[in-house]
Amino acid sequence: MKASIKLQKLPTQFFAALAQKVSATISEGRDIINLGQGNPDRPTPAHIIKALQSTAEDPQNHKYSPFQGIQELKEAAANFYKREYNVDIDPNTEVAILGGAKTGLVELPMAILNPGDYMLLPDPGYPDYLSGAMLGDVYYDTFPLIEDNDFLPDYKALSPEVKERAKLIYLNYPNNPTGGTADLSFFEETVAFAKENDIAVVHDFAYGALGFDGVQPVSFLQAEGAKEVGIEFYTLSKTYNMAGWRVGFAVGNKDIIAAINLIQDHLFCSLFPAVQHAAAAALNGDQSCVEEQRAIYESRRNVLIEEAHRIGWDVKAPKGSFFAWLKVPNGFTSEEFTNLLLEKANVAVASGNGFGEYGEGYVRVGLLVSEERMKEAIMRIEKLGLFKGEPASIL
Ligand SMILES: Cc1ncc(COP(=O)(O)O)c(C=O)c1O
């Protein structure tokens, strides 16, 4: 038996291939500092684990969940948006519970587009967006995210043809992989662009809790009129170190939310109810764990950038997310530099070209190891003697 033609056309799962390569190296007994992946390294806060433990003991939670998730979690998502962003959300019509944002991102083209439609995707971008396009039988155009434009799209640069055929656009700030952030005026411009061209907007807010230098990331739904044109995906994976729990939600435009709920009625029976109760406890509970975690990433970022500058590596500090997007030294492609770091420095990073054509010339470094290991990684890279003579810019 062969996999279907559709599955054979799926792009290679970039992170799976990367993880395999790194674990093969580790199994050789080498001490690899893994900065290549996006897996939060610290545990879920204790009060959330306790909420899971107690709700897991209740036999009521051993049954099927209501198809579209438990009311308590939908209300918690709405309360969270009111408290954090002053955005009003109707828990009954404007929330869809997801088994992680990834599920929503991948199923959405299937839910609201038709075969042959076009969507617009960022380049570089989170690779799973491509999986969604492929599974939904839709085409996509890309828009570049470049440093000179603070890694934001330039809507004016899109051709009339591309604007005409696009039905949906994916955005993501704080951004994976570039670490770029967006402000309210950008989202207002996005709403105007969407209305003018009749394009639905999806904002992937996976790193919503992770803004640096005193700037809290803005929700797309804070822009006036956002709910008329789009939705936002939120996940508990990063905010509460719950990546393995697989829980997130979509909020916003009720027609898009209804389409997500409908496709999910056919694919899933929501999530383990105890996980949903614990997720509600996370969203409603004490948020000091979120600030603590954010501060840890910021401090690791500072160590990374200071150390990189010390060895003469001309890199810029990310403004949010838990990634740094670092220019490779002159004379290397992203892949050559990535391979060199793994082979000669025992440091794993993600090669920028895996995120799209405009990722060439960069590597992505996760802020997901301790400050000591981060320092050690740069010391190992320093020994390669690549950066002498390159001017370092200021943090
Ligand atoms: C940009 C982006 N969106 C979505 C996700 C997936 O999040 P979840 O764990 O909720 O599926 C990730 C995870 O790495 C991500 O980087």
Mind listing the pLDDT tens digit for each residue in 323-364? Answer: 999 999 999 999 999 999 999 999 999 999 999 999 999 999
Q: In terms of C-beta density within 10 A (0-12 exposed, 13-18 middle, 19 or more buried), how is residue 333 classed? A: middle
Give the mean pLDDT of the chain.
Answer: 95
* pLDDT band at 392; cut points 50, 70, 90: very low
Name all residues whose Cβ lies below 6 A of ligand 1: 38, 100-102, 126, 172, 176, 204, 206, 235, 237, 243, 248
Q: Which atom of ligand 1 is nearest to the CA of 176?
A: 1
Instruction: Give, for ligand 1, the residue of 126, 246, 297, 321 to mutate: max count of ligand atoms closer than 8 Å to Cβ.
Output: 126
The pLDDT value recorded for residue 18 is 79
Average the pLDDT over 139-145 and give the result.
98
Q: Which atom of ligand 1 is nearest to the CA of 321?
A: 16
Q: Angle, to 10 degrees, between the axis of helix 128-135 and the axis of helix 101-112?
A: 30
What is the Cα–Cα distance from 166 to 200, expressed in whole angstroms? Answer: 9
> What is the tens place of the pLDDT at every residue in 266-312?
999 999 999 999 999 999 999 999 999 999 999 999 999 999 999 99
Average the pLDDT over 21-40 and give the result.
91
Average the pLDDT over 53-74 and give the result.
97
Q: Looking at per-residue confidence, does 21 or 185 come out higher?
A: 185
CA distances from 103 to 93, 128, 246, 267, 328 (A): 19, 9, 9, 10, 32
Strand, coil or helix: what is 126?
coil
> Per residue in 293-307, is it b (16+ CB within 10 Å) or e — as a string?
bbebbbebbbbbbeb
> What is the tens place of the pLDDT at every residue in 214-259?
999 999 999 999 999 999 999 999 999 999 999 999 999 999 999 9
Average the pLDDT over 146-158 and give the result.
97
Average the pLDDT over 101-125 and give the result.
97
Q: Give which of 82, 113, 329, 345 is closest to 219, Cα–Cα.
A: 82
Query: Does position 391 have pLDDT exceeding 50, yes or no?
Result: no
